[in-house]
Amino acid sequence: MSSSSLTALVSLLLPCLLSLLLLHLANVLDPDPDAATPRVKATPPLPLRFRHDGAFKILQVADMHFGNGAATRCRDVSPDGGGALCSDLNTTRFLRRVIEAEKPDLIAFTGDNIFGASATDAAESLLKAISPAMEYKVPWAAILGNHDQESTMTREELMTFMSLMDYSVSQVNPPGFLVHGFGNYHIGIHGPFGSELINTSLLNLYFLDSGDREVVNEVKTYGWIKESQQAWLRSTSLELQKNLHAPALAFFHIPIPEVRGLWYTGFKGQYQEGVACSTVNSGVLGTLFSMGDVKAVFLGHDHLNDFCGNLSGIWFCYGGGFGYHAYGRPHWPRRARVIYTELKKGQRSWAEVKSIQTWKLLDDEQLSKIDEQVLWRCSTDDSHQNVFSPRQGV
């Protein structure tokens, strides 16, 4: 062996030797044998897919406002709500109940997952808040609200941390794009195992960061979805629709200004407080409308609103407040939204999405199911809207 090839061999082996040394050192310094074992994220089977029965169910959890757990008191509950016994643990109990009752295929946490000002340690609070999803091994995706970063982690740190947690499918930002904020990503739901559409996304989910607070002309207001995010959305949707005109759903925390107008044009559910949106209208409705694939948008932020209303044929639905440390209204139970999608039965196996439905569950004794409605149905006669020509791949 020549000296140059020996040098090459040594330089090749050096990182391995170093890491062996580090491992050895770690064992010497810390006799706990587990300490040297790297922690590996538990990942759900990917890509996410429709179930064998052709359904895919999403649970939306809006505004958990988690603090420190047992020590963090409930807000706005009725006098018989447990008093000092009512805490973040009631939020956890509610999450367990809805997971057991609905057996969702994905949980979407739509921001203000933790209430930063009441969380001594952001990572600890998040771990506790999300724990039922991990416990039940349910894949979950999260975005940020305006309160998550008010503790010990920045928005970027929070999204990074959430992307690394067990069963999370959350992503910080799309690779290859420069977008504003943290938590802008796409998740495709593929056809069931054994179907011809096993490699095709039949339902697309867009998650967006609607920001926290901003100052515009020296006036404080809420955040909004910036042009760079909308550019990413348009281009992602265009790319996906080259493959198949699959319907899509969008999730973000802060409503867009047009949601206010639903007061006059109609809604299903309850509209009990003003829509707390930004003073800036960045044209999100126009972007979604021009994309053509988004059939419904799911929002958080205003806990006393839980309605769905249609703007230009796109449904905008609030989740309704979920968490007990969040503001709410006594005798108006905390609630969660379910989004249920079903595939059409094709000639030989499952075909494209047939319908998108939604309802809510109340944290009362019976876990009451209310306000069921169909948000979208695939119309086979509308050949322009639903061109069915799946290509291989993607």
Ligand X SMILES: *[C@@H]1O[C@H](CO)[C@@H](O)[C@H](O)[C@H]1NC(C)=O
3-state helix/strand/coil string of the chain: CCHHHHHHHHHHHHHHHHHHHHHHHHHHHCCCHHHHCCCCCCCCCCCCECCCCCEEEEEEECCCCECCCCCCECCCCCCCCCHHHCEHHHHHHHHHHHHHHHCCCEEEEECCCECHHHCCCHHHHHHHHHHHHHHCCCCEEEECCCCHHHCCCCHHHHHHHHHHCCCECCCCCCCCCCCCCCCCEEEEEECCCCCCCCCCEEEEEEECCCCCEEEECCEEEECCCCHHHHHHHHHHHHHHHHHCCCCEEEECCCCCHHHHHHHHHCCECCECCCCCCCCCCCCHHHHHHHHCCEEEEEECCCCCECCEEEECCEEEEECCCCCCCCCCECCECCEEEEEEEEEEECCCCEEEEEEEEEEEEECCCCCCEEEEEEEEECCCCCCCCCCCCCCCCC
* Residue 392 C-beta: closest distance to ligand X, Å: 6
Count of residues making up the chain: 394
Q: How far apart are CA 333 and CA 368, in angstroms?
A: 10
Which range binds ligand X by CB under 6 A, 14-22, 53-61, 194-202, 234-242? 194-202
* Residue 77 C-beta: closest distance to ligand X, Å: 4
Residues 149-188, mask of contacts with ligand X (x by CB under 6 A) = ----------------------------------------
Residues 91-120, mask of contacts with ligand X (x by CB under 6 A) = ------------------------------
Residue type, 13: L
* Residue 181 C-beta: closest distance to ligand X, Å: 29
Question: Does 392 sit near ligand X (CB under 6 A)?
Answer: yes
Task: Map the footprint of ligand X across residues 50-79, applying CB under 6 A.
Answer: 74, 77
* Residue 244 C-beta: closest distance to ligand X, Å: 13
Question: Does 292 sit near ligand X (CB under 6 A)?
Answer: no
Which range binds ligand X by CB under 6 A, 18-26, 116-124, 195-203, 339-347? 195-203
Kindly tell me which residue out of 47, 69, 81, 346 binds ligand X, with binding defined by CB under 6 A: 81
Token readout for 78 is: 């009725």
Which range binds ligand X by CB under 6 A, 162-170, 191-199, 240-248, 341-349? 191-199
Kindly tell me which residue out of 60, 68, 72, 90 binds ligand X, with binding defined by CB under 6 A: 90
* Residue 274 C-beta: closest distance to ligand X, Å: 22
Residues 305-324, mask of contacts with ligand X (x by CB under 6 A) = -----x--x-----------
Q: Which is nearer to ligand X, 286 or 313 (CB)?
A: 313
Burial (CB < 10 A; 0-12, 13-18, 19+), residue 229, is: buried
Q: Is 333 left (phi over 0), alpha (psi -120 to 50) or beta?
A: beta
* Residue 30 C-beta: closest distance to ligand X, Å: 39
* Residue 103 C-beta: closest distance to ligand X, Å: 22
Question: Does 202 sit near ligand X (CB under 6 A)?
Answer: no
* Residue 214 C-beta: closest distance to ligand X, Å: 31
Question: Does 85 sit near ligand X (CB under 6 A)?
Answer: yes
Question: Does 243 sit near ligand X (CB under 6 A)?
Answer: no
Q: Which of 182, 179, 181, 180 has its CA nearest to residue 170?
A: 182
Q: Which is nearer to ligand X, 62 or 153 (CB)?
A: 62
Kindly tell me which residue out of 131, 152, 160, 199 binds ligand X, with binding defined by CB under 6 A: 199
* Residue 199 C-beta: closest distance to ligand X, Å: 4
- Residue least distant from ligand X (Cβ): 82
Number of residues that bind ligand X (CB under 6 A): 13
Q: Which is nearer to ligand X, 65 or 180 (CB)?
A: 65
Give the count of alpha carbons within 13 A of 191, CB side only. Answer: 21
Please report, as ranges, the residues that interact with ligand X according to CB under 6 A: 74, 77, 81-82, 85-86, 90, 196, 198-199, 310, 313, 392
